[in-house]
Structure 1
Amino acid sequence: MSFLLDKFKSFSLKPILIFDETSYTYENFIKQIEKYIKTLNEDQINSKVVAILGDYSFYNLALFFALYETKNIIVPITTNIKKIQDEYLQESFCQICIKTSKNELIISNLKQTNSHTMIDSLKEKNSSGLVLFSSGSTGKPKAMIHNLDNLINSYKDKKEKSMNMLVFLMFDHIGGLNTVFNTLFMGACLIIPKNRDAKNICQLIDKYKIMVLPSSPTFLNLILISEEYKSYDLSSLRMITYGTETMPQSLLDKLKKAFPKVKFLQTFGTSETGISTTSSKSSNSLFMKLEDINCEYKIVENELWLKSTTQVLGYLNASMDSFTSDGWFKTGDLVEELEDGYLKIIGRSKEIINVGGQKVNPSEVESLILNLDCVDDCMVYAEQNAITGQTVVCDVVLNKEIDNIKKTIRLFCKDKLDTFKIPTKVNIVEKTNFSDRFKKIRRKENI
């Protein structure tokens, strides 16, 4: 018996997850895993590249661990768009595609004759693997391949706890899988939402007395805008963790006001290096420390570089330009560092706007504009300009009519920002542009 199944058996009758108002125990989960292992062995599905089509469910998670036990390389694919599914299957060198239908597995053999040296290496070592795709917000999604044995081993010493945790980020996201592994390896209970909107998430927190909400700044702002948090009892919440994008200070201040008794913790990680253990300086501070024994960091020209024991083997469909020859991953995150070792993520290097040689950090401008009472949300990005190369543009979501929002914003920013940082164009929108991972997608038109 593997250490994983052995650990799950020690939790036996405890609830492991709740989905669609149905509760399952660790014992139910082990039986489902063992049933799937039997099917996989009968079909000789081991040491293969296997896609799971779909998001979290009791059956998909059981299949995930059955594939892990049978030393397969797993590709979770949550998108329903056939064109993207096909691209992911092709670029991950998938041999088999599986959909779950309760107890049954719908198995499709793909006509894949090609492979990749990193896939071959995992198979030779009899190791399981994991392929995740980047969000693709700044270009073509990269197919990242992990040694899954190595990744899962980093969670094996978790201490047992009884609590309900909500998984927010998706099945094909390193942050979502981090929540799953943390929850299951400490014998806690995972609450899986049927859909990710403010009302449903608040309902689940109320109904199941969820203590920890992992999220993104974009989604937390949607909760504030919707005011759904006022309609439900969210007093069970002890901690809200946030990551995946830069948190504006003004938004964090609003969240602390709405949830005064909740601890806010900034998480940090990348699909390339895994999720790091962090501690925030305080609940209302954007400064944090990276305190992970499996990860080291350094700052090079204000950019955060990481090296971890759980980092990817590489990319299946892209060059390794983001990695140095000695294994450091250049995250693209720009940071400010204090003398006591605390760091603050101030933005992404690829999102910096260049106005005639002057650099503008979109997050800084957004955080200021969010202080305006009439603005619920905003997003700052670059547009091409014949004179300065780029200029600052802002999309805003308003909560009331304003006669001249551009004038209002420019006057508000006048004595608080350098002139070149002040938006030259303001668009009123119904919602800002964000991905299904609730991460802002900044438009860059004709650049």
Structure 2
Amino acid sequence: MKNTWWFQRFTDYADRTFLVEGDTSYNYAALTERIEAYHAAFTESGLQAGDVVALQGDYTLNGIAALFALFGLKAIVAPITATSPSERTLREEAAQAQWLVQAQQELSIQPIAATSAPHDYVVRLKQTQHPGLILFSSGSTGTPKAMIHDVENLLAPFAHKRARRLCILIFLLYDHIGGLNTLFNGMATGAKIVVPASRDAHVVAQAIETHKVKLLPASPTFLNLFLMSGAAERYDLSSLRFITYGTEPMPESLLKRIKQQLPDTALIQTFGTSETGITQTISRSSESTLIKFDDPNTEYKIVDGELWMRSKSQILGYLNHEMSRFTAEGWFMTGDLVEEAQDGFLKITGRREELINVGGEKVTPSEVESVLLEMPEVADCLVYGEPNAITGHNVAAKIVPHAESDPRKLKRLIKQHCRQQLSPYKVPVRITFVDEAIFGERFKKLRRPTQTN
């Protein structure tokens, strides 16, 4: 383990602040000490290279140290943040975990009785003597897909990162590719990583003010909630130099509002999937949703409007699902719909599964949401397709009003505004007013999948 580039890097950063948890700060020396202690504890317990470990943890010194100690042992790690016992069990079974490690407070190591022979991908990874990482899909129904990464491939791009003096607030989840990418990037560059006490907008804003955070990775859904909360006016956010956003399409009107609120902050769009890893991108500007892929480790092409990708850091495969989204040549069909612009720039418009088919005409929810968010009366919205016996689908919208208003008058205003900006088939037929935005634990909008045939 001490021969790995990442352990040596952490050792070089010994005196730098590594992690801020509430009122407690730890330097990189504390991290390396904890990694070594946990590595010894895992070895003593009988845990071996190639074993599959369900790791219940979070962005704490213990959780991060346990993750890297298991990488150092060349184990295959499945981070789990689910709070429901049934959800945890689903993930442990999908990963075929042999061990349960809990690293929230005290370290706990428990063997799990094997119920089946190891998957071929696990056997193959064990033969290479490389550590592994198992991530899960964020589907809201059924058993989540368990996808297995070779950690050597996943971490390779970070080995060439240079040291920087950067303070990062970590926002996306501990078991999410975006959150882990932020963690790996920050640790490779010797950054100070701030963990907010919660993902409440005011708590995040206070952490930015207190610790002079320079980089905030977030989702468009959270950034809109951030604006709605008034936190940007209440706290000093002048230290914030960069906001990176991804995981879902950014409505153009929302991007403009964020830039108006934080004019000195660069807004940078990111892109990645759990299957292919995070791809290096270039944003045309802070006020543009156009991006360009600029990554020597990633190839892409567009097939019938859908983005296909192939990367050096993509998964070995799924442990509990067929590989129909991968071609024989290794291309991953992302399900993301894109439009091509000039000079190699692209615009991510939405997900194929969320496309609304209105009598043969296709509608992307993000386009309609962007128009709705132009209205000062609309604080937030969710656009989706509703079944219609004649047209296949209608466009429907759930609206969070900015303030109390007459529902009938507001509906008329919304439809009038949409008719001025959109083709008739894109105008919401059904408008429902709700008190709160609808999103999941990953701060992504939860839509109903639609049939696009």
Asked if these proteins are the same fold (TM beyond 0.5), I'd say: yes
Q: CA deviation at 1:18?
A: 0.6
Give a deviation string over 1:217-256, Cα, whole Å, max 9, x none.
0000000000011111100000100000000000001001
- 1:388 aligned partner, one-letter code: T
The answer (yes or no) to whether the contact 1:54–1:79 under 8 Å persists in 2 is no
Determine if the alignment matches structure 1 residue 15 to structure 2 residue 20: no
The one of 419, 426, 438 aligned to 1:433: 438
Query: Aligned pair count?
Result: 446
Aligned to 1:299: 302
Determine if the alignment matches structure 1 residue 33 to structure 2 residue 38: no
Residues 42-441 of structure 1: pairs in structure 2 closer than 5 A = 42-46=44-48, 47-100=50-103, 102=105, 104-114=106-116, 115-137=118-140, 140-403=143-406, 404=408, 405-441=410-446
Give a deviation string over 1:28-50, Cα, whole Å, max 9, x none.
11000000011111112122100
The answer (yes or no) to whether the contact 1:215–1:243 under 8 Å persists in 2 is yes
- 2:428 aligned partner, one-letter code: P
What are structure 1's unaligned runs of at least 5 residues? Answer: none
Structure 1: 4+ residue segments shifted above 6 A:
none
Q: For residues 178 and 339 of structure 1, do their structure 2 counterparts lie closer, same or farther at Cα, with a shift above 3 Å needed?
A: same
> Secondary structure at the residue paired with 1:304?
strand
Q: What is the CA–CA distance in structure 2 between the aligned matches of 1:158 and 1:105, rounded to whole Å?
A: 31
TM-score (norm 1): 0.97
Q: For residues 371 and 441 of structure 1, do their structure 2 counterparts lie closer, same or farther at Cα, with a shift above 3 Å needed?
A: same
Q: What is the CA–CA distance in structure 2 between the aligned matches of 1:197 and 1:281, rounded to whole Å?
A: 30
Q: CA deviation at 1:432?
A: 2.3
Q: What is the CA–CA distance in structure 1 between the aligned matches of 2:56 and 2:176, rounded to whole Å?
A: 14
Q: What is the CA–CA distance in structure 2 between the aligned matches of 1:139 and 1:435, rounded to whole Å?
A: 16
Over the aligned positions, Cα root-mean-square deviation in angstroms equals 1.4
Q: What is the CA–CA distance in structure 1 between the aligned matches of 2:145 and 2:166, rounded to whole Å?
A: 35
Q: CA deviation at 1:445?
A: 8.6
Give a deviation string over 1:153-187, Cα, whole Å, max 9, x none.
22111100112111110100000000000000111
The answer (yes or no) to whether the contact 2:21–2:194 under 8 Å persists in 1 is yes
- 2:352 aligned partner, one-letter code: S
TM-score (norm 2): 0.96
Q: For residues 338 and 139 of structure 1, do their structure 2 counterparts lie closer, same or farther at Cα, with a shift above 3 Å needed?
A: farther
The answer (yes or no) to whether the contact 2:54–2:77 under 8 Å persists in 1 is yes
Give a deviation string over 1:61-83, Cα, whole Å, max 9, x none.
00000000001000000011011
Q: CA deviation at 1:334?
A: 0.8
Q: Identity, % of aligned pairs?
A: 45
Give a deviation string over 1:79-133, Cα, whole Å, max 9, x none.
110111000000110010111254x421121112322110111112111100000
- 2:422 aligned partner, one-letter code: L
Q: What is the CA–CA distance in structure 2 between the aligned matches of 1:26 and 1:395, rounded to whole Å?
A: 46
Q: What is the CA–CA distance in structure 2 between the aligned matches of 1:314 and 1:129, rounded to whole Å?
A: 12
Q: What is the CA–CA distance in structure 1 between the aligned matches of 2:32 and 2:447, rounded to whole Å?
A: 43
Q: What is the CA–CA distance in structure 2 between the aligned matches of 1:344 and 1:400, rounded to whole Å?
A: 33
Q: What is the CA–CA distance in structure 1 between the aligned matches of 2:417 and 2:298, rounded to whole Å?
A: 42
